[in-house]
Each structure stands twice: as structure tokens, then as C-alpha cells.
Amino acid sequence: MRARTTIKDVAEAAGVGVATVSRVLSGGSASPQTRERVLAVAAQLDYRPSALGRNLRQRRTGGIGLLVPDVTDSFYGRVADGVLACARAAGEPVIMGVTGDDAESESELIGMLLEQGVERVVAVPSGDHEPWGPAVRAGLTVVFADRRATGRDDIPAVLADERGGVRTAVEYLVGLGHRRIAYLGGHGQGQRAAAFRDTLGALGVTVDEELVVFGRATRDSAYAAASGLFQHRPDLTALVAGGNQLGEAAVLAARELDLRVPRDLSLIMFDDVPWAELCAPPLTVIAPPAQDIGYRAAELVLRSAGRRARGVSLPTELIIRGSCGPRR
């Protein structure tokens, strides 16, 4: 491997000092002819300033860290895409890690980011507050996306307006005549379940706690929860699934038990995914602006270097397709 060309090589070739080269390249003052010569030489030698040297000198790494539970999940994939898009626009590298919604993994990854000298992080937290103590103590600028960690209200977050989204969905179902509506929730989505209960209450429908169930993040667990719910309470007429994996499980379980959608069961899913349209019938969904959430979070973490920033809540959209009908 050929040795890298350094600033010293450029300085020598251009017949100037390294300080001058550095100034020219980072926009400092220099005489026009010097500037021109340095730029020409740098281009000819294909010189790239090493981020290593710069970062060490400036004691900061520039880049931004990105922690998501699972890139494979379409929702987090879109969040990540938003972060990457914003970072790219700003010319910042992104160091990415997958937590699997596990606090210990999260801790390890934060440690790794710290070692790398990263000082700005966008994360979809596992929910546990534990890992974030050391992070903020070490001076990390953190912005949460999609969720917050319990008890860390000091960390700004970019969230979907889950309450609004769930409210709209529940109102829609109730408007169709449904009364026995179930909620299938997942990891770290207490917010959504709470909104579900509140809205039902506000509409004068008594909340049946047996109809509010939670599955783990895995496909199997979600399927078991959905299937159990359908078998145990065949009287329910509508279901709100709190995420795309849960929605998938619900569709599968309903099909397995020969429940016709929407005749026997109305279905609304939180999160819009490509396959929602391909499903038979196409799924009515509450669409959170996943890509936007990532983009805004990255923007926030880049702008708020140092000072405290306030979080944001982005509106969701109810997309009515074909999976909801009047109460049977």
C-alpha cells in the first residue's frame, strides 16, 4: 500500500510551510497566488486531509453516531435513511450500531462511540435509562428518535404524534360502530397504549383491559399474542396493531383462524410499509413520518452542538385503505 500523501508533501511540493497549506485548505487568509499554487499542487497530488489528524487536534470527531434497534425493520430502516440523508448533506460521516432493543448492547455501543470520539448521537433508545447516564456525563449530545428513554426527559426527542395518530384511528373505528376494539402493542410503546385507552375513555367506550395485550419484538412472540387474543376473545371486532411487525402478525393470525378482514375483523396498523398496499385487502394504516423523524433528529443533533434543544412532535397521517369496515 502506497504511503498517504500528507500535508507536508503538499507544503514541500508547493514550496510553502504546512501552516499555509492548512490555512488555504480550511479557508483562512492567504495571498491569491499562494492559494492558487497550493490548490493546484493539492489537486495534482490528490491530497485528502486526514480526518484523524484533524480530529485529534480539535479533540472532536465531527461524525454522528446512530443507534437503532433493528435495521431490518422497515420503520427503523426509514429512520436511519433520514439520518443518513441529513448527515450526508452536512458532510458528516455516520457510525451506525444495532442495539436489538437490548440495554446492554446499547451500553456497549455507546462506549464504542465514546472511544471513537463521536460526540453527537441520534438513537432510538431501548427504553432503559441506564445506558444514557454515562453518555451525557461524558458530554455526548444526544437526540432521541421515535421513542424516549424513561426518566431522561432532559434529552430532546423527535417523535411521531402517536397520541394524535392513535386517537384518529380509534375515533375512526368507533365511528364505524366498533366497541370491542383491541390493542396489540410492542416494546416501549406505552405511549400508544395510553393514547388508546384515553381515546376510548373520552368517547365513552369502557376499556376492556383484556383487549390490551403486548408482544415482544420478535415475530413469533407477536404472532402468539395476536393468535391468543383472537382465540380467547372471539367477540372483538377491531384491532389496532402498534407497529408493522405486530400488524404482520395480526394479518397472519387472522388468516390462520379464518377471520375475514374487514368483514369479521377491522384492522388498523401503526406504520405504513410497502406491503400494506399489497395485502388483501390493503391495510388501513396510521403512517408516521419515519424518514422525517430521522432527518429532523439528525438536524437537531447537528445544530444543537452544545446548547440544549427542544424536542419536536411530527404529525401522523391516517391512510384509509380497505381493512376496516362497519361492525358486523
Partner DNA sequence: CGCCCTCATGGAAACGATTCCATCATTATT
Partner DNA sequence: AATAATGATGGAATCGTTTCCATGAGGGCG
Identify which range of 50-58, 86-94, 95-103, 145-153 contacts DNA by CB under 7 A: 50-58
State the SS3 of 191-254.
Answer: HHHHHHHHHHHHCCCCCCHHHEEECCCCHHHHHHHHHHHHHHCCCCCEEEECCHHHHHHHHHHH
Residue with smaller CB distance to DNA, 22 or 74: 22
The interface partner of residue 19, options being a second copy, DNA, none and the CB cut-off 5 to 8 Å by kind, is DNA
User: How many chain residues are in contact with DNA, going by CB under 7 A?
Assistant: 33
Copy the grid coordinates of residue 244.
Answer: 408493522
Nearest distance from residue 77's CB to a second copy, in Å? 5
Largest CA distance in the chain: 85
Residue 13 interacts with DNA (CB under 7 A): yes or no: no
Q: Are strands 266-270 and 238-241 parallel, antiparallel or unpaired?
A: parallel
Does 316 sit near a second copy (CB under 8 A)?
no
Site string for DNA, 19-48 (x = CB under 7 A): xxxxx-xx--xxx-xxx-----------xx
CB of 169 to a second copy, least distance (A): 20
The rounded distance, in Å, linking the Cα atoms of 87 and 303 is 11
* Contacts of residue 34, Cβ cutoff 8 Å, sequence gap at least 6: 16, 20, 24
Residue of 204, 235, 258, 278 interacting with a second copy (CB under 8 A): 278
Contact status: 52 vs DNA (CB under 7 A): yes
The smaller minimum CB distance to DNA, of residues 21 and 286, is found at 21
What is the spatial distance between Cα 98 and Cα 105, in angstroms, rounded to a whole number?
8
Q: Is 258 in the site for a second copy (CB under 8 A)?
A: no
CB of 10 to a second copy, least distance (A): 15
Closest residue by Cα to residue 184 from 198, 174, 175, 196: 196
CA distance 211 to 79: 30
Q: How far is the CB of 58 from DNA (least distance, A)?
A: 6
From residue 124, alpha-carbon distances to 38, 158, 161, 283, 309 in Å are 44, 10, 16, 26, 17
Residues 115-134 that bind a second copy (CB under 8 A): 115-117, 134
Give the one residue of 274, 307, 308, 310 binding a second copy; rule: CB under 8 A: 274
Residue 15: contacted member of DNA, a second copy, none (CB under 5 to 8 Å, by partner type):
DNA
Residue 284 φ then ψ, to 5°: -75, 130
Query: How distant, in Å, are the alpha carbons of 164, 238, 261, 266 from that of 174?
Result: 15, 9, 17, 11
Angle at 222 between CA 69 and CA 110, to 5 degrees: 15
Could you say whether residue 114 binds DNA (CB under 7 A)? no
Q: How far apart are CA 318 and CA 307, in angstroms?
A: 35
Contact 154, 221 (CB under 8 A): no
Bridge partners (DSSP) listed for residue 181:
238
Q: Does 279 bind a second copy (CB under 8 A)?
A: yes
- Binding pattern to a second copy, positions 59-98, x when CB under 8 A? x-x-x--x---xxx-x--xx-xx--xx--x--x-xxxxxx
Residue closer to DNA (CB basis): 35 or 216:
35
Q: Give yes or no for residue 56 binding a second copy (CB under 8 A).
A: yes
Least CB distance to a second copy at residue 170 (A):
24
Footprint of a second copy on this chain (CB under 8 A)? 1-2, 4, 46, 48-53, 55-56, 59, 61, 63, 66, 70-72, 74, 77-78, 80-81, 84-85, 88, 91, 93-98, 109, 111-117, 134, 137-139, 248, 251-252, 273-275, 277-280, 291
Footprint of DNA on this chain (CB under 7 A)? 3-4, 6-8, 15-23, 25-26, 29-31, 33-35, 47-50, 52-54, 56-59
